Each structure stands twice: as C-alpha cells, then as structure tokens.
Amino acid sequence: MGQTDLTRQVRRLCADGYRLYDSGEYRLALRSFYQAWLLIPKPQSQYTEAGWVLTAIGDTYFRLHQHEQGAESLTSALYCPEAEQSPFVQLRLGQCLLELGRTPEARKYLLHAYNHNATLFDSEAPRYRQAIADLISHDSI
C-alpha cells in the first residue's frame, strides 16, 4: 500500500470513528480507530498517521474514563511525527494522568498544553486548569 493510499484509508476510518465518537458511541469509535491502527506498517511511530490514530484512541479512552489506556495511547502518540508537540495530546495526556493521581507528571503536560493553547481549557472541567493554577500567573486564569 502506497503512502497516499494509507493516508486515505486511515483518514476514512478515523472519520468513521469520529462520527461514532460525536454521537457518543465510544466503543464503536474505538473499533474504527483500531482498524486504522492495523493498517499502519511497523514501526508505526515513523508515520504521522499513527499520531492521529493514537490521539483518537487516547481521547476516546478518556471519554470512557479508562484513563490508564488513554495515558498509554497518548504517551505513544508523543513518539510520532507532528504529534509530539500537539497541545491537544498534551492536554488529554495530562488529564488522564491527573485522573490516575499522577499529579506532578500531569501538571507538566497540562502546563505545556496551556502555554501553547490556553483556549483548549475553556471547554474542559475547571479542575484541569486548577491543577496548574499555581504554575501560571494568576492574572491569566
């Protein structure tokens, strides 16, 4: 399978997954995301598409309150091209880690996300911004 075909097929499966995700069908969404994952040749971390898929998987696990699996997927996404600096990946990873009680580690990722795109926090529960409140200037909260 050529790179263009791979990208097209992964995008299609991820689009299917996000349609299910948006309708709250998280477990079915995971199925689509994992189908996309299986298309990516090894070593997957060399492919930008792997970052997309791992981010989608981690985000979906977060929505399912399966924070350990979410943290694993999102940590793996950090090793993929273009995903390693994504504020969204950093946000979701920080959230998963915070829910797991790994607060110091969570704060590192949440602060990175906040510093690169503070508006990501606008639609999230206040506790995530509060977790880093002492690390950022109080006038920007």
pTM of the model: 0.92
Q: Tell me the backbone φ, ψ of residue 42, rounded to 5 degrees.
A: -85, 145
Q: How far apart are CA 91 and CA 71, in angstroms?
A: 11
Domain with CATH 1.25.40.10 in the chain: 1-84
- Look at domain 1-84 and name its CATH class: mainly alpha
Residue 1, helix vs strand vs coil: coil
Give the distance, in angstroms, between the CA of residue 140 and the centroid of all CA atoms in the same chain: 25
Give per-residue pLDDT as tens, 26-74: 999 999 999 999 999 999 999 999 999 999 999 999 999 999 999 999 9
Does the structure show a pLDDT above 70 at 139? no
Give per-residue pLDDT as tens, 76-106: 999 999 888 899 999 999 999 999 999 999 9
The pLDDT mean for the chain works out to: 94
